């Protein structure tokens, strides 16, 4: 289990921790992270995995591989105090902490490298070396020397073609950036994808087990687990989060129904944790299979893949009638991205089939191939600002006038529209609830004083 608290620093703990990054997306970070988590789990170790940035699909995969909950860490969306506290709490049970990066390690503001530097976590770089040899060494040399505040342990060469291929790369690497592991090309390890990223874990659970085991065997042969467990522990300090002591009273006694099935699954565990910390009772249901919304005071329709299940959603008329009645009763509903599409009058899927939806909000949804929208934004709600992100490949047309637009992180153009009809709040934005708990409590119907605003103008210290 994790190391005990340091006797020299109250509110400080330590645990071996490694950041798994890459020079770009599509290099195999999640495949390697999941395989490493499964290998250590097979050895009886407790591995806590975190994912950088606003990602729903990778955490599902990593949670199944590790057998532990997976949280998102993002300095802008969640804030430094939140990230620091989550890491500190993980040391209480973990033998090793893994943090999977996003995109390339220096991409974004703040980037994966910013997060690693802030908490002193050393990085390993996963690189797809197919089609190159010594060039991989040159890229690693450049990455390792790009910033002085980031420590790179070495390279995990993914999709290596042969022993000779490995030797060519390894011989060209400087001593300061060694080859930590070499993973041969193996279709049995690869994780299946679709238009928004990886296929959801719940859809391919048994298949994933086979892939995890194949990956674990490959990394076990490289001795990577023992190397990581032998790394010097990283010290993590506890953090004080403003307003945390008042959370239990904000939604005390409120029952919140949460849609959760194959069509609606883009849910931050942190959001669920916060609702419960504020006193809410969560009641999960399936718009695909259940006949009605559970008895509740507020309803959350999160994002997901309604476009893959449009026919089944339309066919479940008992559920349609139940949600419409809930809306007519003037009760709070939050609909995010896929939930927004479900609330429109119709949704046309990738096959060109149009399905009637709930009709709570005027407008029609259309899927639009590979093009789409993504990025960090602040949702300026009447209840208060909440940081969020957008990631979709659809468009909503014929919608009413928005009450507001998302405020982009670093661009003056208006972001995603925010609609409100009665007590329905619908938007493409995925809200990160812990960013402004008081605003979220009011959104779900709590009677509370005007919430304190989030300091939007404060720059993240040390973030480029």
Please report how the helices 29-42 and 57-66 are oriented relative to each other, as an axis angle in degrees rounded to 10. Answer: 20
254 is catalytic: no
Active-site entry in 160, 254, 296, 337? 337
Residues classed as catalytic: 337
């Amino acid at each position: 289990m994790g190391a005990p608290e340091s006797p020299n620093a109250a509110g400080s703990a330590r645990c071996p921790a490694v950041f798994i990054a890459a020079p770009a997306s599509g290099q195999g970070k999640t495949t390697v992270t999941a395989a490493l988590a499964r290998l250590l789990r097979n050895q009886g170790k407790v591995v806590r995995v975190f994912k950088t940035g606003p990602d729903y699909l990778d955490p599902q995969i990593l949670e199944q591989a590790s057998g532990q909950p997976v949280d998102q860490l993002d300095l802008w969306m969640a804030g430094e105090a939140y990230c620091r506290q989550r890491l500190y709490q993980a040391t209480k049970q973990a033998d090793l902490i893994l943090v999977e990066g996003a995109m390339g390690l220096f991409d974004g503001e703040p980037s994966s490298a910013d997060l690693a530097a802030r908490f002193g976590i050393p990085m390993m770089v996963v690189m797809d070396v197919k089609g190159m040899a010594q060039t991989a060494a040159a890229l690693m040399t450049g990455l390792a020397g790009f910033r002085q505040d980031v420590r790179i342990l070495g390279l995990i060469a993914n999709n290596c073609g042969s022993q000779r291929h490995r030797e060519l790369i390894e011989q060209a690497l400087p001593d300061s950036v060694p080859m930590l592991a070499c993973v041969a090309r193996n279709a049995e390890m690869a994780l299946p994808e679709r238009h928004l990223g990886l296929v959801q874990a719940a859809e391919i659970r048994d298949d994933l087990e086979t892939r995890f085991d194949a990956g674990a065997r490959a990394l076990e042969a490289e001795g990577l687990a023992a190397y990581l467990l032998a790394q010097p522990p990283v010290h993590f300090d506890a953090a004080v989060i403003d307003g945390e002591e008042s959370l239990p009273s904000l939604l005390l006694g409120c029952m919140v129904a949460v849609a959760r099935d194959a069509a609606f699954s883009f849910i931050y565990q942190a959001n669920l944790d916060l609702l419960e910390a504020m006193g809410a009772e969560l009641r999960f249901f399936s718009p695909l299979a259940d006949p009605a919304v559970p008895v509740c005071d507020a309803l959350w329709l999160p994002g997901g893949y309604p476009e893959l299940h449009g026919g089944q959603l339309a066919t479940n008329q008992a559920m349609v009638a139940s949600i419409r009645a809930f809306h007519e009763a003037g009760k709070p509903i939050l609909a995010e991205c896929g939930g927004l599409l479900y609330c429109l009058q119709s949704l046309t899927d990738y096959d060109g089939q149009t399905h009637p939806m709930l009709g709570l909000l005027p407008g029609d949804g259309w899927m639009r191939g590979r093009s789409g929208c993504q990025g960090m934004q602040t949702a300026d709600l009447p209840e208060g600002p909440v940081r969020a992100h957008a990631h979709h490949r659809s468009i909503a047309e014929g919608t009413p006038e928005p009450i507001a637009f998302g405020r982009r992180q670093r661009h003056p153009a208006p972001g995603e529209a925010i609609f409100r009809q009665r007590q329905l709040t619908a938007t493409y934005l995925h809200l990160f609830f812990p960013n402004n708990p008081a605003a979220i409590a009011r959104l779900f119907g709590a009677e509370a004083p005007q919430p304190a605003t989030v300091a939007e103008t404060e720059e993240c210290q040390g973030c480029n």
